[in-house]
Amino acid sequence: MTAASELNFFASADGDIAFRDTGTGAPVVLVHAGYVDHRLFEAQTPALAAEHRVIAVDVRGHGWSANASEPFRWADDLAGLLRHLDAGPAVLVGLCMGAAVATDTVLEYPELVRALVVSGGGTSAFEYADPWTVERAAESARMLAAGDIADWIETFAKNVSGPHRTVDEVDPEVVRHMREMATHTISKHTVGETNWLVPLDDPWSRVPKIDVPVLAVHGALDAADGIDMAERLVRTVPDGRSVTIEGAGHFPNLEKPEEFNAIVLDFLRSL
């Protein structure tokens, strides 16, 4: 596990943004899913840092980054960090919410992005149609509104298994890791607090203008929505492709790290 002492901090206009910065070479930025933090990529960081400069960020309100106290956009935060580090153009790798952060950034700041890798998501206009996803999201929202954090953590763990397995069928270390990160992030927040995130307006309409290579990495056991959003992204851009990892769900980088790393490294070497 990364210790907090290994993190760096960028002083944004609304508090510090935490990140890990390791390796040398062309920059690769890792953007985690919702409610977790940069530790989602513990198995990716050393593998990618052997050939690249790897920056693993804690999105505002997550991990060791400051909570928002005023309106903000994901793209502005990430662009500010990249400019602070003189790290653009970079390859952005995003999982679930991180895919939305990364896609927002290439839409708003195309000069800072060299290529894009997404898994389990597409743009920040999330599209939920699969009954399992809709039901789980509603259940999670009810628990958070009621402050039932312990039950929410258990519901959150279902993101790892997806609709085709039970949580007990997933490597218990993966589940423990996700619970630990989610507990840390949720403890930073209070029931009923203001959501200061400002969404982009209709990002899907702008996707055809993304002119960098885009790779989607699917977990075959993910819910349909996660796969469909990422697949829509790569079908819509001029240069998109996808690959599926068997035996993995919403977080293929955790369940099949060696395979995930090999796919991403092959993509990076092709640029």
DSSP state, residue 54: E
Could you tell me whether strands 8-12 and 27-31 are parallel, antiparallel, or unpaired per DSSP bridges? unpaired
**Residue 214: both structure tokens together:** 């885009």
- What is the model's pLDDT at position 6? 83
| Euclidean distance between CA atoms 45 and 261, whole angstroms | 9
Give yes or no for a contact between 121 and 128, defined as CB atoms under 8 angstroms apart.
no
CATH of domain 4-127+195-270: 3.40.50.1820
- Residue keyed to tokens 């085709």: 164
* CA angle (39, 8, 56) in 5-degree steps: 35
- What is the model's pLDDT at position 3? 53
**pTM (whole model) above 0.95:** yes
Domain boundaries in the chain? 4-127+195-270, 131-186
- Residue keyed to tokens 């992005």: 113
Amino acid of residue 47: A
pLDDT tens for the chain, residues 1 to 271: 455 558 999 999 999 999 999 999 999 999 999 999 999 999 999 999 999 999 999 999 999 999 999 999 999 999 999 999 999 899 999 999 999 999 999 999 999 999 999 999 999 999 899 999 999 889 988 998 888 999 899 889 989 999 999 999 999 999 999 999 999 999 999 998 999 999 999 999 999 999 999 999 999 999 999 999 999 999 999 999 999 999 999 999 999 999 999 999 999 999 9
Quick count: other Cβ atoms within 10 Å of Cβ 37?
25
Quick count: other Cβ atoms within 10 Å of Cβ 6?
11
- What is the model's pLDDT at position 241? 98
On the 0-12 / 13-18 / 19+ scale of CB atoms within 10 A, 246 is: exposed
Angle between helices 131-146 and 149-161 (to 10 degrees): 160
Q: Minimal CA–CA distance to 118: which of 92, 100, 94, 90?
A: 94
Phi, psi for residue 162 in degrees, rounded to 5: 80, -175
**Residue 200: both structure tokens together:** 């982009």
* DSSP of 86-137: T--SEEEEEETHHHHHHHHHHHH-GGGEEEEEEES--SSS----SHHHHHHH
Q: Minimal CA–CA distance to 84: which of 57, 47, 50?
A: 57
**Residue 124: both structure tokens together:** 């920040």
